[in-house]
Amino acid sequence: MENEKVRCLIIGSGPAGYTAAIYASRANLNPVLYEGLTPGGQLTTTTDIENFPGYPSGVAGTQMMEDLRQQAERFGADIRFGIATAADLEKTPYTITIDDKKVIEAETIIIATGASAKYLGLPDEDKYAGMGVSACATCDGFFYRKKVVAVVGGGDTACEEAIYLAGLASKVYMIVRKSYLRASRIMQERIKHHPNIEVLFEHNAVGLYGDPGVEGVHLVKRLGEADESKYDLPIDGFFLAIGHHPNSDVFATYLETDETGYIKTIPGSPRTEIPGVFAAGDVADPVYRQAITAAATGCQAAIEAERYLAEYEFKQAMKL
């Protein structure tokens, strides 16, 4: 198997990964970045982004990611396509296997593999991606001002998304499979008393319709019961709020994660419990999950990697 040694390895290519590459390149760390399964990350599945500073007229997600990529390459980042399929963080240099074919020995590693939104698995979710289907109310809610939307889910995240959207949309439906909300008591009370939110208990979304974008959702009430009924609900937007899965499985043997799989870092920093290994972006952020916060932690991770290497190399020199 082919081997290569690098000073700084960045795994992932969303805002966190590309920003880390920009800063690491400018610090002469000669970073190598592997883009992963989806070059550019989740934002490449978004149409317009209007809440990232520096784009006063908004920008397409694919364009913003291409801008960040080109900026990283301008400073010398070595950006490659490939997926981390195995890791050994037992001792330095740390090793990452790419595509089961190549082993990278890295003095520092920045993990920026992101988190994947959970979907219902409906074919229509892919069909209407970017045309009425979203997994981020904060990102896309602005486009549904004074429109009717639906939020799928019954936990705290779904309630938070519904309340946020209710401040923009004319009407918010919550589609909940169970006969109750799983959210905390205070969130349940807020939903119950919000004039713009209606909860549809014991409902399942089984499809979407519209041309070219979402115009409604196919619903089944009390699925599988004797009184099961089906009907269509006109909506303009369909928001998934049933959770995210952080892409941390490859590193879970070595790094501490929470119950969902988000990598735990030392509070206020991107440092993990392993010296020289950093986590940035959504893979370590169960709370905000925004492009701007991901980019910020990518910056922090690169700065921390630079400091770590400077200290490490100084100690090595002193031994000589």
- Answering whether pTM is above 0.85, one says no
pLDDT of 202 higher than 80: yes
* Judgement on whether residues 64 and 31 belong to the same structural domain of the protein: yes
Give the per-residue pLDDT at 47: 64
Give me the pLDDT at residue 259, please. 92
Same domain for 99 and 248, yes or no, is yes
Q: Which of 201, 191, 125, 189 is nearest to 158 (CA)?
A: 191
Mean pLDDT value across the chain = 94
What CATH code is carried by the domain that includes residue 261?
3.50.50.60
* Residues 18-73: tens digit of each pLDDT: 999 999 999 999 999 999 888 888 777 666 788 899 999 989 888 999 999 999 99
Q: Of 48, 124, 126, 139, which one is the catalytic site residue?
A: 139
Determine the structural domain holding residue 184 and report its residue range: 119-240
pLDDT the model gives residue 60? 87
Across 91-103, b (16+ Cβ under 10 Å) vs e yields eebbbbbbeeebb
Q: What is the pLDDT of residues 289-300, one digit of tens each?
A: 889 999 999 999
Q: Catalytic: 126?
A: no
Residues 257 and 220 reside in one and the same domain: no
Element (H, E) at 8: strand 2-11
Q: Which of 307, 237, 304 is nearest to 265 (CA)?
A: 304
Residues 219 and 264 in one domain: no
Residues 16, 105 within the same domain: yes
Domain closes at, from 208, 240, 272:
240
**Residue 140 annotated to the active site:** yes
- Pairing status of strand 197-200 against strand 171-175: parallel
Domain count, the chain: 2
- Is residue 136 annotated as a catalytic residue, yes or no? yes
Which one is catalytic: 140, 236, 282, 285? 140
Residue for token pair 């490490």: 312
* Same domain, yes or no: 148 and 224: yes
Tell me, yes or no, whether 124 and 177 share the same domain: yes
| Res. 148 pLDDT band, cuts 50 70 90 | very high
The larger pLDDT score, comparing residue 173 to residue 157, is at: 173
Q: pLDDT at residue 320 above 70?
A: no
Pick the catalytic residue: 8, 136, 159, 299? 136
